Chain A
């Protein structure tokens, strides 16, 4: 009747000796030996035994990677579409129209997200650029604040690497987003920096369910050597950031 027939006969304290079926060696942890601390009733003593876990550089394969043969037929997502370019901005006699230039930049930012062009999106950021989604509108500093997202370009690279990994299990279900950006209002414009606020609505399809997010963007944009706009700070205030999240956000909004 039992699906597992060896379980009832197993004796407590079964020996741990014998070859490891996975072949790896147990690394030394925290400078101590490889063996499991012997169990005993001295609770405080047990907690004092330091076992440090960390990714072992010598042993790059982890978890499901260890299972042979390759169990995962999926590759990184391939994108059929070319990276969209921002819309054209027609210069006037008075010079470039900054309002329209910034609008096209913000639309392109949203299009890159909807198209899952992660690297092209990250490339919109200046060196030292930051993507920040605070929890409350009154927060002012991206560092040291409880945040929903608080990412520099290195952290963006980690997130991009994560969602692109073939074993990012939560990426398997079909999902899409659709952004609408509007109410683009320039707050200050200099030769080197533009501050602009705007609103967005985003619908997200995941499996069979649609979620709806909305809020405001506040961008600090700077010009690089060629005069192109780059993001120094993209601040995203979700109007429903403190409402319960039905599931979580996996990618930038």
Chain B
């Protein structure tokens, strides 16, 4: 398969969204090599706490270590017994105690994956499967690292380190954590999972696509704007969460005035700021806490960052100012699971948590008034691309108008399709070159 013929600087061939062989290659060359987000350390606070997570096509376990050489750290293991291959945990999450025990023949393993006991071990004497053989332990992810509490794993030894992979996109986690007076977040222990009937690329492109909101989401934006306006007229103010929704119906010009910054590895930022700093007592109390912790200059720098979304390509969309994160787990060329998480700013007032919770409930919950229309677009997009009605997907908007410096592409227009062009640049490198 000649992949280089499928991606041109200004357009891509439809098969990159639809072809099962290309999907398999994406799993092999991208997901099962690069750093993939597993979860947040606070999902597994106690020794033995685990969370099952899929990396590419691989069933993995994120597990908090007990006492020992790796005391308290978080490890990532393959969810597979080395004896006959049975998965060692059968639930999405839980606590496995001090050991994994296989439900088939009772092989057991320490929390670091090394074998603890094999029943009737005598039966293995003289074979190659004795306890001192590392193959008798659970296989570990080649590399595990974390950044500000967010855990990533890579299934190969070679390639960039996690900081190198994240590059400037690490701002996603800095921006989220810096908004806490103690510099940390903890997970809200609920994960919404929504299956989209479309290729994962639709989601990643959509997140920084500033032209679509006022088209796709106008029904909600207009409806919310109407009620917001009435409330303001009647009572002088409307809660901030009406604004979350009405913003989606901002004009083309407003969205075009936003900028995208597009990094190596396909990462990117959609700037713009939804006005999260009203002068109400809760916000003032919160800002006073930050000022006490960081001083005025840093607090101002943290709170005035202009970030709407940060993308960690090819699977993560982080809305750091509102502490939300969506992670993609592709299932097939036309099936993508998204996992939706919310985080709490440690040390921040309850009111600040509740304020961003509204965004989680209204925009990111399974009863979303926003993503319902995105998902509809992506399904129809997938069906359209499966047709013979055309071969190419166009990314020509403002082609040639972006400014590139040191591998970073700055759009001169919010609606520039620089976002997609940059993502496919990274995609081509992943798919064709050694990493």
Binding site for B on A (CB under 8 A): 3-4, 7, 10-14, 16, 20, 22, 24-27, 29-30, 34, 36-37, 39-41, 43-44, 46-57, 59-66, 133, 135-136, 143-150, 154-155, 157-163, 165, 167-173, 242-250
Contact = CB atoms under 8 A, between A and B. Distances in A.
B273 A248 contact: no
Instruction: Count chain B CB atoms within 10 A of each CB in A11, A24, A54, A135 and give the residue with the most.
Output: A54
B373 A169 contact: yes
Given A40-B405, A41-B405, A47-B306, 13 more contacts: A3-B394, A16-B413, A41-B408, A50-B304, A62-B252, A63-B252, A144-B353, A148-B192, A167-B219, A168-B219, A245-B192, A245-B193, A248-B372
B245 interface: yes
A54 B275 contact: yes
Contacts of B148: none
Contacts of B171: 47
B435 interface: no
A26 to B, nearest CB: 5
A168 to B, nearest CB: 4
Contacts of B296: none
Interface stretch (B48-56, B78-86, B395-403): B395-403
B249 A62 contact: yes
Contacts of B275: 52, 54
B296 to A, nearest CB: 15
B304 A48 contact: yes
A158 B231 CA distance: 12
A250 B367 CA distance: 6
B106 interface: no
Interface in B189-218: 190-197, 213-218
B259 A36 contact: yes
A162 B373 CA distance: 11
B253 interface: yes
A157 B369 contact: no
Given A36-B412, A50-B304, A170-B375, A249 B254 contact: no
B401 A158 contact: no
A31 B208 CA distance: 24
A70 B337 CA distance: 36
B409 to A, nearest CB: 9
B185 to A, nearest CB: 15
B258 A51 contact: yes
Contacts of B254: 26-27, 29, 53-54, 56
A143 B350 CA distance: 11
B101 to A, nearest CB: 26
Contacts of B243: 54
A162 B219 contact: yes
A109 B257 CA distance: 46
A47 B259 CA distance: 10
B253 A24 contact: yes
Nearest to B255: A53
A47 B305 contact: yes
Contact of B215 (A64, A146, A161): A64
A49 B412 contact: no
B271 interface: yes
A247 B367 contact: no
Interface centre among B213, B229, B361, B375 (most CB of A within 10 A): B361
Contact of B413 (A12, A36, A135, A147): A36
Interface residues of B, number: 93
Given A54-B247, A64-B215, A48 B301 contact: yes
Given A25-B253, A55-B221, A62-B250, A244 B272 contact: no
A50 B306 contact: yes
B341 to A, nearest CB: 10
A165 B219 contact: yes
A22 B361 contact: no
B365 A66 contact: no
Residue from A30, A60, A162 whose CB has the most chain B CB atoms within 10 Å:
A162
Contacts of B274: 52-54
A196 to B, nearest CB: 23
B225 A7 contact: no
A51 B365 contact: no
Contacts of B305: 47-48
Given A52-B273, A147-B365, A170 B373 contact: yes
B385 interface: no
B354 interface: yes
Contact of B366 (A22, A49, A148, A170): A148
B337 A244 contact: yes
A59 B87 CA distance: 57
A46 B271 contact: yes
Interface string B152-178: 000000000000000010010000000
Contacts of B306: 46-51
A154 B227 contact: yes
B366 A34 contact: no
A249 B369 CA distance: 9
B309 interface: no
A50 B10 CA distance: 30
Contacts of B193: 243-245
A250 B296 CA distance: 44
B25 interface: no
Interface string B370-406: 0111011100000000000000101010011111011
A167 B219 CA distance: 6
Contacts of A11: 400
A162 B257 contact: no
Interface string B254-292: 111111010000000101111100000000000000000
A10 B399 contact: yes
Given A47-B305, A53-B274, A146-B357, A168 B247 contact: no
